[in-house]
Homo-oligomer: A and B are copies of this chain.
Amino acid sequence: MKQYTVAILGATGAVGTQMIQCLEEQNFPVGELRLLASARSAGKKVAFAGGEVTIQEARPEAFAGCDIVLGAVEDDLARELLPKAVEAGAIVVDNSHAFRLDPDVPLVVPEINGEDVAWHHGIISNPNCATIIGLVPTWPLHKIAGVTRMVVSTYQAASGAGAPGMADLEAEIAAMGKGEPLPAPRTFAAQLASNLIPQIGGFDPEGYTSEEMKLQNEGRKIMHLPELRVNCTCVRVPVLRSHSESITLEFERDITLDEARAALEAAPGVKLVDDRAAASAHDRFPMPIDTSDQDLIWVGRLRRDISNPHAARGITFWCCGDQIRKGAATNAVQIAKLLTE
C-alpha cells in the first residue's frame, strides 16, 4: 500500500492538532508526517503513531517531496504559502476561506460531493464549519425532494475562533466561577460567558456577516445548486466546541416525515437522536456536550414546518456537530483520504 508524505500547515492550532489525531484515527497511510508552524513552535516535539515528530518552521522549502498538505492557517498565510506547496508537487486540502469560491478549486464534503475531488488543480478546499454541519443532514433530504430555501439560526461554539477563542471562554468562566472580575476578551468583541454575540465576521452592505453568507455561497457550490436561497443568522454562544443549528428547509417536491427520518437514518455522517419519549435528555435530542469530540452530525427535533403554507414541503430540524472535527479537521482528512483511493 502506498505511503504518503503528509504535511500539516498550522500544526499547533486547534484544527491542526486535531488533524494529527484524525490521521491516526482514519488510518491514513502516512509515510512521513511534517508538522509546520510558526518559528516560535519550531523544535517542539509532538507524539504521532507511537513516535515523535519535531515541528518545523512553515517555510516553502518544507513542502519539497510532500504528497499532501493539509492547510490549517488563516486566509492570508494560506494564500501566501499553499500555492508554493502546489508548485512543489503536493496536493493541498485547505481549511481556510482563501480558495473556497475559486472556480478552479473543488469545495468538498465527502458525504455530499466527494466526486468533485477528481477535477482539482492542486488545491481542494474544506468548507466552513457551520456550512459542513448544516449541509450534511440537509443533503439526504435534498436528494428526496430538492431543497430550494434554507432559514438557519446558528449557535456557534468558541472553538470556531480557534484555540484563543476557547481560551477566552475558559478564562471568563473561571473568573465567573470564582466570583472574580472577568478578564477582557482577547478574541471576541465582547464577553462570551453568560452572553451571546450575534456577529461572526464582517458585515456586507446588505447587513449579513461573512460567516452568514458562507452557508449560501458554499452551499450552492457543494450541492451544485446555484439557485439555492439561504437566510442565515450566525450567533456565537458560550459553548466550547460543538456548533448547533436550527434549520428550516423548503423543498420543490413533497416530502413526508417518514421519508425524511429514513433518509437521515441511512445517511453517512449523520446520527439521528430524536426519541421524544426517551427518559434521558441525551436520547431525546442532540446537545453540544454529547456531540463534542466525535465525528458525526447529530440530528433531532425533526418535524413539519407548520409555518409553511405548503406544509408537505417544509421540514424543520436541529443539529449539532463538533466544530473542530467534522467542522474542520475530520472533513479535511476525509478529503485527503479520497485522494488516496
Q: Which residues of A contact B (CB under 8 A)?
A: 149-151, 153, 155, 169, 173-178, 189-191, 193-199, 203, 206-208, 216, 229-231, 233, 235, 237-240, 244, 246, 248, 276, 281-282, 284-289, 300-309, 314, 316, 318, 320
Contacts and interface: CB of A to CB of B under 8 A. Distances in A.
Nearest to A245: B153
Contacts of A276: 203, 207
A198 B233 contact: no
A168 to B, nearest CB: 13
Contacts of A320: 196
A206 to B, nearest CB: 6
Contacts of A193: 173
B190 A287 contact: yes
Given A178-B178, A233-B246, A285 B198 contact: yes
B281 A189 contact: yes
Contacts of A153: 153, 233, 246
Contacts of A230: 306-307
Contacts of A197: 281, 287
Q: Which of A178, A196, A306 has the most CB of B within 10 A?
A: A196
Contacts of A286: 198
Nearest to A180: B177
Contacts of A198: 244, 246, 285-287, 300-301, 318
Contacts of A190: 281-282, 287, 289
Counting from the closest, the 9 A-B pairs by CB-CB distance are A177-B177, A207-B303, A153-B153, A231-B307, A189-B281, A153-B246, A229-B307, A190-B281, A233-B246
